[in-house]
Structure formats: structure tokens, C-alpha cells
Amino acid sequence: MKRRFILWLSLFALAPFVDAAPLKIHFLSGAREYKSEESLKAFIPWLEKNHGVKCTISWGHDGIKKLPNLEQLKEADVLFVFARRMKLGEEQMKLIRAHWEKGKPIVGVRTASHAFQKADNEIFDRQVMGGNYL
């Protein structure tokens, strides 16, 4: 329950910084072991219905090399990461890097500290998430 409260507090603390348009959240789902898809398929419709946010989603899984719908991240205010050890190519990592380099917020849950494989994870892990999961 405490984790859920912290997540909500994090998401809605961002609301004053977004203009009158609905908050746009892009979700990255890709953690089979932790059932990210199952959890988010229940969470996202509830979030949209009860809080008027607009959500887009890139469904994936551990080890995936290319996510569908990742282009939608360009329009998002917030990136929500619930993923584990994705092996995305450079083109898709550029989209994700562009988001954090613009200073846009990222909410990471569970395995987000090691969402990506390769050199990009060290950057994401240390510079974006603020630590190292090891």
C-alpha cells in the first residue's frame, strides 16, 4: 500500500508542470517475471478513467530488441518504465535518451534500474535512476 501511495504521489506531483492538456504517459512494459503486462493492463484503464490522463504503451518482454509504438514517446510528458533487460537497438534507445535529455520525468518501478542491456543501461541506471541495482 505504501508503494502505491508513493507511485501516485510521484505521478500527480508532476501535474502542475503540465499545461491544461491531459498528462500524457508512455508506458514501457517488459518484465515477464514480475508480470508487468498483467499489472499494467489493469492499471492503465483505471488511471485514464479516474484521472483523465492519456496513456500510450509499448508492450515488450525481457530481451526484446524492438518495441512497438515507441515513437509515441516523443509526445509523452512522462515515461513510466516497468521493464527488465531489454536489448533495444540504437534507434530506439535514442528516443528514450531524448526523453531524459530534455529533462522530462521518468517513473521507474521494480526492475527499471536494469531495464536495458548494453552500455545504455549503465547510463540509465546511474544517471537517470540514480544508482546501480547491484
> Contact 28/58 with Cβ under 8 angstroms?
yes
User: What is the pTM assigned to this prediction?
Assistant: 0.79
* pLDDT for the residue numbered 124: 74
* pLDDT for the residue numbered 76: 97
* pLDDT for the residue numbered 125: 72
* pLDDT for the residue numbered 67: 94
* pLDDT for the residue numbered 126: 73
Tell me the β-bridge partners of 107: 80
* pLDDT for the residue numbered 70: 96
Q: Could you write out the DSSP letters of every residue in 20-54?
A: SSPPEEEEEEE-GGGTHHHHHHHHHHHHHHHH--E
Residue ranges of the chain with pLDDT lower than 50? none
The terminus-to-terminus CA distance of the chain in angstroms comes to 26
* pLDDT for the residue numbered 16: 58
Tell me the β-bridge partners of 26: 56, 79
**What Rg value do the Cα atoms of the chain yield, rounded?**
14
* pLDDT for the residue numbered 31: 82
- Dihedral Cα 84, 109, 60, 119, nearest 10 deg: -40
* pLDDT for the residue numbered 69: 96
* pLDDT for the residue numbered 62: 86
